[in-house]
Amino acid sequence: MSETRNTRNIRTARDQLIELANDYDRAVAEFRWPEIGPTFNWATEWFDVIAQGNDRPALWIVEEDGTEAIFSFAELSERSDRVAAWLAAQGVAQGDRVMVMLGNQVELWESVLALSKLGAVIVPGATALGPSELVDRIARGRIDHVLTNRADAGKFDGVDGDYTRIAVGTGALSEGWLDYGDALDGGGESSGAPEANVGTPDASPDFPRAEPASGDPLLVYFTSGTTSKPKMVEHTQTSYPVGHLSTMYWLGMRPGDVHLAISSPGWAKHAWSLIFAPWIAEATVFIYNYAKFDAVKLAAELDRAGVTTFCAPPTVWRMLIQAPDAVRPHALREVLSAGEPLNPEVISRIEARWGLTIRDGYGQTEMTATVANTPGSPVKPGSMGRPLPGVPVVLVDPVSGEPSDEGELCLDLAERPFTLMTRYLDDPERNAEVTVGGYYHTGDVASRDADGHITYIGRTDDVFKSSDYKVSPFEVESLLIEHPAVVEAAVVPAPHATRLTTPKAYVVLADGWAPDAETARALFVHSASTMPSYMRVRRIEFAELPKTISGKIRRVDLRMLEVEADRSGERRGGEFREEDFAGLLDGVTRR
């Protein structure tokens, strides 16, 4: 594919952000989104162009047993051409919706490129999805084709629908399923697309390279459903493929970097950090697959591979600080966190051990990276940073609807934000709700200080009142996790006759701590000595935390447990309360 005006404009914008990586003020003042013409295809106009004659690694996959596979930019371009030709021969056409339900394997990346080249709409799905969830996604998503591993094919047995079924891998092929392996073997029978010619291993494949309108859909994501049934988020040919320039800037990526992000396929963060941002930067996507997380092995692999930029969710960082034997990866330059706010205690402990400051970033499935601590900028404890270049962030007071220094984090719609989704599919009521007042409403509450740094307070439906004070679960959790017994915590309101609600913490304990009264006493004392009275944790339960498939804590489930317990009039088994401990706070210096 020859370079186009779109290619040149993206490269110019990319190079500008790389040049200004450590100069936030200039980047905000000078950066402008690249002009994209009426048509745009990211796979052919960007990836194929940078892949021409490019033998540098684009994708490096390491398995737990030490086996590995490396694919250059040029190889992935050629492989995805073959896959595109074969898919076209099976009837995949521009505008078709294709569910891609694969793990971290080469077929995931080459099929995403191939489908983009065909102008199909990619609907990512996590391999952890079960039959009931697939029934919903196939029906509401109006899926035309499904691409999944043979091991997961059985999940679709009871999922009705007129969709093509394509299986990846070896072994017996179930009836009605096509073999993805034929794409690279040059075999397989066509299902009626005469213009597509898969060719042979030594011949260039021929297929209809799409030229979609730049505003045409490329991706439809089902959100993780923390508070409701998953919504369908639609992104265009530009909002993610080009919009992730903001994510690249946050990550601090450069050409030639090796980047690892701990993220599961099927969720937006995977596309953020393991497809678009690194390949915009012309960096290597590094994957380390494992069955069970081991912090020491992960750090050793980061060191061996020379990983330069590493992004992980808060849970992984918490596990890393619990592993004193984890080596400091020698080539690591940037360390990052996303998914949920990272507690200041974790940041300080990694800083002490590795000499690197974890930089938090914020965004949603509905948009690319939006607020972040950027390279070279001071990181304020608890803050998720400042608005990224080109992203019109506004905090809106929920009462007046006017801009404020504390309120709901929104995007100004006066100039259509480049990085924002087009809409929630088939949900006009919700679309109207989230765009009321000329702003896109994220549902997240935050505050901004005099220097423009934004601190996350909580979801609009997570913040609660106790004794007429507003309580931010994140603030309580951040202080609670400073205690060595606590690996992870989720704070929710428990109904209370006098205070309306009282803060209750569900706690995951570190190794060596027992889920008993002695540990509960220690945490109550810690809470009283570090938190103001209204915020103090007054009930504790030791338990695993319910999470979405993408790893976000489902506080809504925990809130419902408390509501149900209150309705029944019975105390939850295993719950400890302050009042259980006589003389608990005697001699304790309280906040």
Angle between helices 295-305 and 314-321 (to 10 degrees): 100
Residue 497 CB contacts under 8 Å (≥ 6 apart), including other chains: none
Angle between helices 344-354 and 314-321 (to 10 degrees): 50
What does the pLDDT read at residue 204? 64
**Could you give the CA distance from residue 87 to residue 164 in angstroms, rounded to a whole number?**
10
Nearest to 268 by CA among 314, 237, 222, 316: 222
Question: Using an 8 Å Cβ cutoff, are 110 and 99 in contact?
Answer: no
Average pLDDT across each block of 10 residues of the chain; the chain has 591 residues. List them in order: 94 98 98 98 98 98 97 98 97 98 98 98 92 91 98 95 96 93 68 42 76 98 69 97 98 98 93 98 98 95 98 89 93 92 87 96 96 95 94 93 94 95 96 96 93 88 77 87 95 87 95 96 94 90 88 85 91 94 86 64
One DSSP character per residue, 432-475 reads HHHTGGGEEEEEEEEEE-TT--EEEEEETTT-EEETTEEE-HHH
What does the pLDDT read at residue 195? 42
What does the pLDDT read at residue 498? 78
Q: What domains appear along the chain, each with residue ranges and CATH number?
A: 467-580 (3.30.300.30)
Nearest to 329 by CA among 337, 320, 341, 338: 320
Please, what's the b/e burial string for 190-225 (b: 16 or more CB within 10 A of its CB; e: otherwise)? eeebeebbbbeeeeebebbbbebebebbbbbbbbbb
**Could you give the CA distance from residue 339 to residue 391 in angstroms, rounded to a whole number?**
19
Nearest to 34 by CA among 186, 245, 234, 201: 245
One DSSP character per residue, 498-554 reads TTEEEEEEEEEEPTT--SSHHHHHHHHHHHHHHS-GGG---EEEE-PPPB-TTS-B-
Helix boundaries (H) for 332-434: 344-354, 428-434
**Could you give the CA distance from residue 440 to residue 432 in angstroms, rounded to a whole number?**
10
Q: For the sheet containing 177-179, what is the strand order? A: 177-179, 164-168, 145-149, 97-101, 121-124, 217-222, 232-236, 423-424
Question: Using an 8 Å Cβ cutoff, are 383 and 195 in contact?
Answer: no
What does the pLDDT read at residue 186? 60
What does the pLDDT read at residue 224? 61
Is the alpha carbon torsion for 145, 146, 147, 150 positive or negative?
negative
Question: Using an 8 Å Cβ cutoff, are 313 and 343 in contact?
Answer: no
Strand 97-101 to 68-72 pairing: unpaired
Q: Give the tens place of pLDDT for each residue, 124-160.
A: 999 988 888 899 999 999 999 999 999 999 999 999 9
Length of the chain in terms of residues written? 591
